[in-house]
Amino acid sequence: MAFHSMVFLYGFLPAVILCYFLLPARWRTGRNCILLIFSLGFYAWGGIWALPVLLASCAVNCLAGLGCAPGRPWGRAVYWCGVGVNIAALAYYKYTGFFLENLQALGMEVTIPSIVLPAGISFFTFQAVAYLTDVRRGTIPPERNPGKLTLFMVFFPQLLQGPILRYGAFAPALDDRRENSSAAAQGATRFCFGLAKKVLLADALGTIADAAFSSGDRLTVALAWLGAIAYSLQLYFDFSGYTDMAIGLGRIFGLPIPENFCYPYAAVSVTDFWRRWHQTLSFWFRDYVYIPLGGNRCSRRRQVVNLAAVWLLTGLWHGAAWTFVLWGGYYALLLMGEKFLWGRGLARLPMPVRRLYAVLAAVVGWVIFRSADLAQAGAMLQGMFGFAPGGLWSGEAAYYLLQFRWELLVAIPACLPVKVWLEEQLRRGAEQGRRLQAVVLALGPKVLVFGLLGWSSVRLLSSTFRSFLYFQF
């Protein structure tokens, strides 16, 4: 069940909100049970066959957390067994086919089984590993209530696509949270803006990207760049839109979901880009892989190995394909270069040049990320840099540029901190006694959110359904 489906918007969501708030706030356990039941139903809607996998993961991690706490007999062994079970399940479902396909390509006679990937397994596996690691380190106590840990693992707003939660930040709210109308209104507003990002911008931009990446011999330089930029914007609005909806739902129920994006296309370097994009994943690899390997507190050679390991894993986490391995290697080289070679020189360049460098690096990276295979990635990159089979320009590029001009014109400023600047200007005007600015600041978001919700609903009814891009990971 997707957040932008009519079933969710006008069926599931009103039902869970009604059942949740019918219970008095003092019945905290009852409200948690409502969320748990609806979260399991939400997951089962997409395929009940995958529900046992999720529940088994919850059970294993609940028991492993109790057994791996500091001071427990065999705690270290229990911890590694728990982590091993989590990683083994992820490896089986996500990488078995990739491994066997490569053996087959080497000439070995192997049978490739048909394995369906359980939705959200990459996300709830990483949450489980973080929980066990934090318990083992003594950062948090083990959770003795299996219902609370299960709710942490399956909480429906972030179950399928993140952000990746930390139990230490989530657990206190399970017992002590204060839902109120103000927070619920803020959450609903955030949800509607996220819905508009997905339905009104990302899906339209995806049409351009699909056309460019599938153009074959019709590819021109203009179409290659248009498709690459469109996909970069599509991915941002698709994923950040989901995150906005997840955060908004969390606020309605009084449960904290962390921010995941901070205007990544305003970055001034590749390093800065990855501090802004998918922040919870970046922080997860930093805290549970990079720093345990030695981080920056080791020789330069070891730092290179650490970065290479982190980005190989980051690439593979996103998908079982050589394009993702290449994508991870691409960013490993750029980050090593900024860290050891050209970082100081880059810092001395004018700010517009630094921003252009970061955006171009990201766009090239997303071409590799989006491509179905290495051949398509090579064709798109050759086309972008002047070696397109269709020449420089085509009517197809002009068609998509004109057909989706409004989405492009809105998307470019919307992915930059223009909203923050406008809010600051209106706030200053209101503080200086300007009534118009005060009225716009107070009523503008409310009027806009109703308009966006209505427009998004109409678009959902009249266009082809597009799933969220990160569902495949």
Active site residues: 318
Give the integer Cα–Cα distance in Å for 319 and 95.
8
Listed in sequence order, the residues at least 6 apart from 31 whose beta carbon sits closer than 8 Å to its beta carbon are 20, 23, 25, 253
Give the integer Cα–Cα distance in Å for 168 and 152.
10
Residue 151 has, within 13 A of its CA and on its CB side, a CA count of: 24
Query: What's the CA angle centered on 23, arms 22 and 29, to 5 degrees?
Result: 150
Amino acid type, 451: G
The tokens describing 239, both together, are 């994923």
Give the integer Cα–Cα distance in Å for 288 and 273.
20
Q: What are phi and psi of 392, to 5 degrees?
A: -85, -45
Length of the chain in residues, anyone?
473
Neighbours of 375 (CB within 10 A): 10
Distances (CA, A) of 444 to 10, 423, 432, 453: 25, 10, 18, 14
Give the integer Cα–Cα distance in Å for 186 and 188.
6
Closest to 471 (Cα-Cα) out of 260, 262, 257, 239: 239
